[in-house]
Each structure stands twice: as structure tokens, then as C-alpha cells.
């Protein structure tokens, strides 16, 4: 009894100290998260290396190697890009002369002198503010880089012992503790590589080209969209993380939606869902079906994927993704049991109106009332198109919309059209790598090697011409 008391007292103390340390460590959170992520990615290679040589030497080698060959090159590359941009030269005379003429015209027509003391003072103040922000950003980057390196070193040195201790205090049965830790590692690794990378690339692209979002304009457009949603009772969710203009733009958009949009059901971004106390929403990933196609064959992929999803999640996350191997194949594969168990279907490509009619017909064929089911539409939607689809669904089937780019990247600049999908998979370390394929209802958007896409099309008896993306 006494041991139990002290054990749980220690847990409470650790949690309390953890909260306190978190508050104090917020300025260094990027470095801490970066170091922790690197540790999870490198812990197994380091453990293997420790078995081949002295343990401390292995830790030093991995830390130095990561610093010299990953972190420093990335930092130097970023710095080189900044220097390159700052070193660009233009024909100043060709810029100055037209500018002088424009300034003269403005002064003549409006009486406003752009070279006045007030204007120049404002420009100087803004330049000073920008300079301070840049220097502050560089300083924060260097500090967080050092934090990441130090944390990586100490985690590689004592991470295994810390994992063992965490395992002893976790309130799970012994057989479940290892699984919990493995799942945490898997989640961190997948999230470190997937969606964050897709979210970072567009932001870096916009910074590189000097694209600056006009927040006033974004909020004005957003107000009009929210008004349309409220007037027509259009239910939607924010799905815009992967192709957002920037983190700050997405943050501002979700904040506005949370305060003003009565029919915003939630967001697919778990961080912002936590920050604004919104409901985190999502559906099946294509990767789930792609894995089953590679492992069990393309004819059985949809059926096996849905069956295993039910077994794993026991009724939760009940919106089935329809277009991994074309929606036509999905509708022919889905069983009566699965159609009853799942709350609805997600349409992510192709003609939304045609898909709606075919899905309704399939539900009726299976003896299911379509009005009890829901379609989630998420195919590059804007609110105008969503309203047309809603009108088409009215009285036939429920509908909701996952709107992404139109919310988080409606800035006047062309959004990045990027995607990341599974290319190979295997069930265990002993199995050979197997190629993965995704077909699409949209022409020219099949993903996979040409040979494997052709094999998939042949298995499914689809006589389509292919143009694989990769």
C-alpha cells in the first residue's frame, strides 16, 4: 500500500513538474520537438550501432553525423537561399524613372507627397521592424537548433532507460505497454514525414517567391463564405492543412470559423482542434486501401480494407473512402453489411453529381434508405460548387463538405498542387517490399509505376489509358 502511494505521488509530481517545465520551455518548443522527432527516427539505427561498438561512441557518431550531414546542410541551404534572394540585382534606373513619374502623378492628382517626412518616417519604422523580426528569427533558429542537437544527444544516451521507466509507470497491462510505445513511435514517424512536410513546402515556396498574404482580404472573402454557409445551412469542415498558404493564415482562418461559422463542424488539424476546442474530423486515408491492395490483391482491396477498419475502430470513424481504385469498383465491392455499418462515403475525385446518383442507386439496391446516410465531398471544392452539390442531394441523401485550399489558400496566389502517397509497403521485416497503386476517377491522376498501374487496371478489368504521376 505504501509503495503504491509513493508510486502515484511520484507520478503526480512528475506531471506537475512537466506542466511547469512546458510553460518555461515554450520558446524552445521547436527545438525540443525537433530533437524528440530525430530521436524516434534514429533510436533503432543507434541501438544497432551500439551493438557493434562502444555505446557512447555510437551516440557521439550518430549525433555528429546528424548535425554535420543533415541539420547543418539544411541550415546552410536555407541561409544560402536567403542570401541569394537578397543578392538579386535589378536595373535600378528602369525602376526609379517610372516610380518618379507615378509619384509625380499621385502628388498632382491627390496632393499626397510620398516623399513627405511622415511617409519616410513610416517606411523607416517598418524597415526597422522587419529587420528586428529577421534578426529575432535567425536568433531563435540558432537557439532551437542547438536545443535539438543537445536533446538528441541526451535522448540517444539515456532514451532506452527513460522508455523503460515510462513503461513501468504506464497504467497498462505488461503485454500492452510495448505496443503503446511502438504506436507512439509509429505515429510520430508518420506525422513527421507526411502531412507536416506537405504543409511546410507551400509555405517555403511562398516565402521564396515573396508572396505575402493580405489578411484583411482573406477575412473579407471568408466572411462572405461563412455568410453563404449560414444562409443555406451548408455544413462543412476545414480540410486545408496540406495546401495551406502558411501556418499563420490557417490559424487565422480556423479562429474566424470557430467564432463565426455556425455550420463549421470541425477541422482535420488536431493541433488547431485542441487550440480552439473544435471537433477533430477526418476520414479514411488512401494509404489504408493502397496497403490492402498490395497485400491482398486489387480485387479484394476495398472489401478487406473496410472489414479491417471495422475490426480496428469498432464503429468509429465511419466514413468510407470511395475512390482509391475508382468509385465504380468501390460501389461494386461494398457489401450490404459494410454499407449498413458505415455512416457514409467520401467522394474525393470525379463527377460529384454522377457519383451521388450512383451511390444512391447502390444503397437502394442493397435495401438501405439513402436518406440515413451521408456523403462527404472533398474534391477541390469552393462554396459555390458546394451549394450546387447540396441542392442536388436535397431530399435524396445527407451531405457535408471538406473544404481545404479554398479556405486556407484563397490569397490570390496560385496554390501548390502537391500530393504524397504510399509507394511501397510490407507487413513485416521478413516480407519483400510490394508496390502500391492508387487509381483516380480524374484522368491522368493514377499514382504508381506504369507497370503496376497497368497490372491493377488489368486485375480490375478497367481498360483505361494511364498517365501515372510517379
Please report the pLDDT score of residue 398 as a whole number: 95
- The Cα 329–Cα 102 span in angstroms is 61
C-alpha cell at 426: 510490407
Per cent of the chain over pLDDT 70 is: 69
Please report the pLDDT score of residue 56 as a whole number: 78
Which tens digits make up the pLDDT trace of 98-114?
Answer: 666 666 666 666 555 55
Contact (CB, 8 A) for 323 and 348: yes
**Contacts made by residues 205-208, CB under 8 angstroms, sequence distance 24+:** 205/416, 206/245, 206/246, 206/413, 208/81, 208/85
Neighbours of 166 (CB within 10 A): 13
Which tens digits make up the pLDDT trace of 257-291?
Answer: 999 999 999 999 988 999 999 998 877 788 899 99
Contact (CB, 8 A) for 205 and 416: yes
Per-residue confidence band for 90, with pLDDT thresholds at 50, 70 and 90: very low
Mean pLDDT of the chain: 79
Please report the pLDDT score of residue 469 as a whole number: 45
Contact (CB, 8 A) for 143 and 31: yes
Per-residue confidence band for 205, with pLDDT thresholds at 50, 70 and 90: confident
Per cent of the chain over pLDDT 90 is: 36
- Cα torsion for 358, 363, 364, 366, to the nearest 10°? 120
Comparison of pLDDT for 328 and 443, the residue scoring more: 328
Amino acid at each position: 500500500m505504501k509503495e503504491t502511494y509513493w508510486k502515484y505521488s511520484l507520478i503526480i509530481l512528475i506531471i506537475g513538474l512537466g506542466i511547469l517545465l512546458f510553460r518555461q520551455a515554450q520558446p524552445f518548443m521547436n527545438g525540443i520537438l525537433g530533437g524528440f522527432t530525430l530521436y524516434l527516427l534514429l533510436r533503432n539505427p543507434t541501438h544497432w550501432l551500439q551493438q557493434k561498438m562502444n555505446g557512447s561512441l555510437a551516440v557521439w557518431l550518430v549525433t555528429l553525423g546528424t548535425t554535420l550531414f543533415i541539420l547543418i546542410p539544411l541550415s546552410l541551404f536555407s541561409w544560402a537561399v536567403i542570401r541569394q534572394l537578397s543578392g538579386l540585382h535589378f536595373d535600378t534606373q528602369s525602376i526609379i524613372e517610372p516610380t518618379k513619374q507615378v509619384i509625380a502623378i499621385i502628388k498632382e492628382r491627390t496632393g499626397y507627397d510620398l516623399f513627405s517626412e511622415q511617409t519616410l518616417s513610416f517606411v523607416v519604422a517598418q524597415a526597422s521592424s522587419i529587420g528586428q523580426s529577421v534578426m529575432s528569427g535567425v536568433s531563435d533558429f540558432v537557439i532551437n537548433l542547438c536545443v535539438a542537437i543537445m536533446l538528441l544527444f541526451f535522448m540517444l544516451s539515456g532514451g532506452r532507460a527513460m522508455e523503460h521507466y515510462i513503461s513501468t509507470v504506464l497504467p497498462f497491462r505488461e503485454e500492452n505497454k510495448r505496443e503503446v510505445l511502438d504506436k507512439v513511435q509509429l505515429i510520430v514517424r508518420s506525422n513527421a514525414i507526411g502531412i507536416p512536410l506537405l504543409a511546410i513546402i507551400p509555405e517555403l515556396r511562398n516565402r521564396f517567391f515573396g508572396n505575402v498574404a493580405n489578411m484583411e482580404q482573406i477575412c473579407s472573402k471568408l466572411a462572405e463564405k461563412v455568410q453563404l454557409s449560414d444562409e443555406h445551412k451548408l455544413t462543412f469542415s476545414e480540410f486545408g492543412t496540406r495546401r495551406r498558404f502558411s501556418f499563420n493564415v490557417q490559424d487565422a482562418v480556423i479562429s474566424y470559423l470557430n467564432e463565426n461559422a455556425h455550420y463549421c463542424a470541425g477541422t482535420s488539424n488536431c493541433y488547431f482542434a485542441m487550440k480552439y476546442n473544435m471537433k477533430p474530423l477526418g476520414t479514411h486515408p488512401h494509404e489504408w486501401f493502397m496497403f490492402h491492395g498490395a497485400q491482398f490483391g486489387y480485387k479484394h482491396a476495398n472489401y478487406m480494407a473496410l472489414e479491417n477498419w471495422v475490426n480496428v475502430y469498432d464503429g468509429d470513424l465511419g466514413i468510407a473512402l470511395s475512390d482509391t481504385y475508382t468509385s465504380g469498383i468501390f460501389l461494386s465491392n461494398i457489401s450490404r453489411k459494410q454499407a449498413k455499418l458505415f455512416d457514409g462515403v467520401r467522394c474525393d475525385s470525379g463527377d460529384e453529381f454522377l457519383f451521388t446518383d450512383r451511390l444512391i442507386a447502390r444503397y437502394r439496391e442493397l435495401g438501405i434508405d439513402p436518406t440515413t446516410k451521408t456523403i462527404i465531398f472533398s474534391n477541390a471544392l469552393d462554396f459555390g460548387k458546394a451549394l450546387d452539390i447540396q441542392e442536388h442531394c436535397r431530399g435524396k441523401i445527407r451531405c457535408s463538405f471538406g473544404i481545404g485550399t479554398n479556405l486556407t489558400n484563397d490569397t490570390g496566389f496560385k496554390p501548390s498542387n502537391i500530393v504524397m502517397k504510399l509507394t511501397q509497403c510490407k507487413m513485416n521485416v521478413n516480407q519483400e517490399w510490394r508496390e502500391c497503386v492508387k487509381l483516380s476517377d480524374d484522368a491522368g491522376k493514377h499514382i504508381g509505376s506504369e507497370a503496376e498501374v497497368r497490372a491493377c487496371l488489368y486485375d480490375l478489368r478497367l481498360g483505361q489509358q494511364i498517365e501515372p504521376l510517379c
